[in-house]
Structure 1
Amino acid sequence: MNICVSAKTIVTHPWLALVFRLYIAGLFIYAGMYKINYTAEFAETIAGYRIAPYWSVNFMAIVMPWIELICGILLVCGIRVRSAIAVTGSLLVLFTVGIAVNLLRDSPISCGCFHTMDDAISWLTLARDLIWVAMAVHVFFYDAVFRMERKFDWFAKEI
């Protein structure tokens, strides 16, 4: 019984959530910066997934990297963490579903997560994304360390 309590304490610890939050933030900042620089290539990657309607591909290629970058910055700074991780987690679920669908289709496409010339998607890519989704869920429920919005509560109350 004591081991279960210790394991639960470690798994639900806010410092672990902070590590996960900073890890996911770094992923999204890096991925967003790359996609912002190579928007046309990212649009081709989105089109390769064959999930989004053709008329939305360019819009998604322009908007999605900025959402990733902004959410990553918010997570690093500790501002609106629950909102940022909810958006980030939703994007991760979207990416995971896209990878799963294309694995079932047996499409030889690259992930497009960090580079347009990545290796082809595999079941390991799907497992990696599922781990990231689990990290995002953990951050959503257990993050409580180094949140900047608490430093400015006095300002929000005056407004």
Structure 2
Amino acid sequence: MKKIKRMPEGTGAAGRMAVLVAWIMATLFLYSGVVKIADPPAFARALFRYRLLPDAAVNPAALWIPWIEVLAGGALFFSHTRRAGLFLLLGLMTVFTAAVTVLLVRGKSIPCGCFDPTGGMETGWVLLIRNAAIMIVLAGLFFRGERRTRA
């Protein structure tokens, strides 16, 4: 019986491309988190405009969400924490996309607060498609995992 050995992440052109894409996603979420950390009241106002959280939960969410983005984004830079970071970011993006979907169903459009807590892209179909594209990339990286070969 042949032994199965794990190939190190980043092996071959496809592996290096996956690492590069993970680093691009890391930079994207680090930036998104840092701009929100820099102005918590503005991000709290952005969250409040969604009208999805109880008023008492808005400020704690405005403080915690950006740090989760930064932590998860930073985790993408390291192979041993990458899957955990991808899992967290997929969860966040699922919640963000659900919030945008609720607004679409309600027929409302507000600044999303994604990369600019004082404004940014309006919620709508374009934002929904952008979020879906980001989620596809994150899921592709997550499910890519470690490839195995027979020795």
TM-score norm. by structure 2 comes to 0.81
Closer, same or farther: CA 18–144 of 1 in aligned 2, 3 Å: farther
Contact 2:23–2:76, Cα closer than 8 Å, also in 1? yes
Q: What is the aligned-residue identity percentage?
A: 30
Counterpart AA for 1:90: G
Mapped to 2, the partners of 1:119 and 1:93 lie a distance apart of: 18
Which residue does 2:119 correspond to in 1? 117
Q: Is 2:97 the partner of 1:96? A: yes
Counterpart AA for 1:142: R
Mapped to 1, the partners of 2:29 and 2:49 lie a distance apart of: 21
Contact 2:109–2:124, Cα closer than 8 Å, also in 1? no
More helix by share: 1
Which residue does 2:109 correspond to in 1? 108
Mapped to 2, the partners of 1:44 and 1:79 lie a distance apart of: 36
Contact 1:14–1:143, Cα closer than 8 Å, also in 2? no
1:134 to 136, 139, 146: 136
Mapped to 1, the partners of 2:145 and 2:16 lie a distance apart of: 8
CA positional deviation for 1:69: 0.5
CA deviations on 1:88-142 (whole Å, 9 max, x unpaired) are 1100111111111111212221110001221322201100000111111111111
Mapped to 1, the partners of 2:132 and 2:39 lie a distance apart of: 26
Matched ranges for 1:32-71 at <5 A: 32-71=33-72
CA deviations on 1:33-68 (whole Å, 9 max, x unpaired) are 000001001011111111112111100100110111
Mapped to 1, the partners of 2:106 and 2:16 lie a distance apart of: 40
Structure 2 alignment gaps of length 5 or more: 1-13
Structure 1 alignment gaps of length 5 or more: 1-12, 146-159
CA positional deviation for 1:143: 4.3
Counterpart AA for 2:97: T
Counterpart AA for 2:77: V
Contact 1:20–1:136, Cα closer than 8 Å, also in 2? no
Closer, same or farther: CA 144–14 of 1 in aligned 2, 3 Å: farther
CA positional deviation for 1:16: 3.8
Contact 1:32–1:69, Cα closer than 8 Å, also in 2? yes
Task: Return 122-131 or 103-112, whichever deviates more.
Answer: 103-112
Contact 2:121–2:127, Cα closer than 8 Å, also in 1? no
Please provide the CA RMSD for this pair: 1.6
Matched ranges for 1:146-157 at <5 A: none
Give the number of aligned pairs.
133
